[in-house]
Chains A and B, each alone.
Chain A
């Protein structure tokens, strides 16, 4: 009975979203219920993490059908940690939305859409069935279309058309990939697929590589991997800041998670072609992200290109697939989800004060809001990976494992990219916060209330770095099933 806890991260936001759809015009009620739901979700996710820590990988066979025949929800440590991170970001973004999203949007089902997106995100993390993963992707994407277009300004309409088209094509190819895999393997349960691919003993490897590349195409499209990232800067520029923080913190990371999950389970033997391909694409993503990040003077665009750099770093370390590199990737993934949400929320406050997102149009913000300046500064240092902060340990592991796997070019590229990450945002800091006061500042915004979620998220990120020793046992638990698929298979398919 207790293992039903795995279902709560999907069910809680789902039930709260349904309830909120009944009373769309009562804004105060919407706010209270949405916040309560997200707080309950944090408690449930935290409990799940500790439950998985004590009892090992927890699975639920929905409706009690035995593993390969029904849908299995699998709570391993990797998924649980991501679910916990997701729910923390959700709560902070909901609090931030109270003061920034505006009543017009709140009346048109903003909170239900956010919660439905979390249903999709958490479901994608926890599912153990490849077609169910597709369905949860669609839940997440459908809600993200709504969140992207809600408000209906011109720029949002333009961006949504492109985003929708890209994702419709991506979803089509996802189903094609599942169809191909089904014709070869004859099952949809991920653990069972892994087992049966193993039993092929090297037959059919040509087809397997094709399916692997198809999956890479589909998930790379969601994650923003080169050459499939072209939709991302334009689409992420359009939505209002709280939505952007959710997208930047969560959506691309679901693509990364799906790549890690499928590649560690299905394509472990494809090391000659698919893994090097992933590594090269990830490195090009880093380079292009760096070029974008240093060439713009627009706050939002700079942070958006920093998403691409982080995606590249994580996927590069996945392509090495050693124990150390995967640990680095998992650690860095959680750090990056937190810090990107923080950065977007800070950018939102700066934009609310200055009325512009171009860093050329204002300076001397430090004299007005020193607290904001120092918060932003710490966030930049954490993002770049300065030692006591959270960005450091992940990158350290990744670079170490890159060098020990003789991927010298990749390791050096990642180190150089950190330098440019630092430069791209320090540029914002020095131009916008230092210097003589110029530009028009509106100081009537509810500054303290908007800073609250930022400070909470940032201090969590700092603590995540300071107490990394306490976190590492959890990360090790998370890495076990990725490195050794039999752990995952044994947990799902019980004799």
Chain B
């Protein structure tokens, strides 16, 4: 199971890197979203995928529970990346309004050439 997940996560990372290296800003943001999905699945996989019960104490487990810690970590990471992605999308929208383009090449140049 871990092997299958690893291959899947590898594919997601590859897709994310490909999208982040593209020209359009929206593709880049989709790339970062896929990257964060890959990262979250990675943490889940690295915690170990075992056939235990869901980590709720009320359910009397016949044998063992699954590791609750990676699930808590992922929950935190999801919320953070949600916040960052929302900010990034609005930033892209503002940049589209100001720079009249959603191509990343429009963000070139840092000297005071546009003040």
Contact = CB atoms under 8 A, between A and B. Distances in A.
Interface residues of B, number: 41
B91 A172 contact: no
A105 interface: no
B21 to A, nearest CB: 11
A169 B35 contact: yes
Contact of A183 (B38, B47, B77, B98): B47
B54 interface: no
B28 interface: yes
A179 B99 contact: no
Interface in A245-277: none
The B interface is mostly helix, strand or loop, or mixed, namely: helix
B62 interface: no
A427 interface: no
A471 interface: no
B35 A172 contact: yes
A152 B94 contact: yes
Contact of B110 (A135, A180, A188, A233): A233
A480 interface: no
B107 interface: yes
A180 B87 contact: no
B59 interface: no
Contacts of B28: 165
A162 interface: yes
Nearest to B80: A138
A339 interface: no
B111 A298 contact: yes
Contact of A164 (B36, B70, B84, B111): B84
B42 interface: yes
A64 to B, nearest CB: 19
B15 interface: no
Most B Cβ at <10 Å: residue of A135, A162, A176, A233 = A176
Interface string B20-51: 10000100100010011011101100111000
Given A135-B80, A234-B110, A172 B70 contact: no
Given A175-B43, A188-B69, A168 B32 contact: yes
B104 interface: yes
B104 A183 contact: no
Interface string A150-188: 001111011111101100110111011011101100001
A180 B35 contact: no
Contacts of A169: 20, 32, 35
A462 interface: no
A157 B95 contact: yes
Contacts, number: 108
Contacts of A173: 39
B99 to A, nearest CB: 7
Contact of A155 (B25, B73, B112): B112
B42 A179 contact: yes
Nearest to B74: A175
A180 B46 contact: yes
A142 interface: yes
Contacts of B107: 157-159, 161-162
B91 A161 contact: yes
B91 A178 contact: no
Given A158-B99, A188-B69, A234-B110, A168 B35 contact: yes
B42 A161 contact: no
A144 to B, nearest CB: 12
A149 interface: yes
Contacts of A377: none
B92 interface: yes
B58 interface: no
Most B Cβ at <10 Å: residue of A153, A157, A234 = A157
Contacts of A157: 91, 94-95, 98-99, 107
Given A175-B39, A233-B110, 15 more contacts: A131-B73, A131-B76, A138-B84, A154-B99, A155-B112, A157-B95, A157-B99, A157-B107, A158-B110, A161-B95, A169-B20, A172-B35, A173-B39, A176-B39, A234-B110
17 contacts: A131-B73, A134-B77, A135-B80, A138-B80, A138-B84, A142-B83, A154-B114, A155-B112, A155-B115, A157-B98, A161-B107, A164-B87, A165-B88, A168-B81, A168-B88, A172-B35, A237-B110
3 smallest beta-carbon distances between A and B, as pairs: A183-B46, A158-B107, A179-B43
Interface of B: 20, 25, 28, 32, 35-36, 38-40, 42-43, 46-48, 69-70, 73, 76-77, 80-81, 83-84, 87-88, 91-92, 94-95, 98-99, 104, 106-112, 114-115
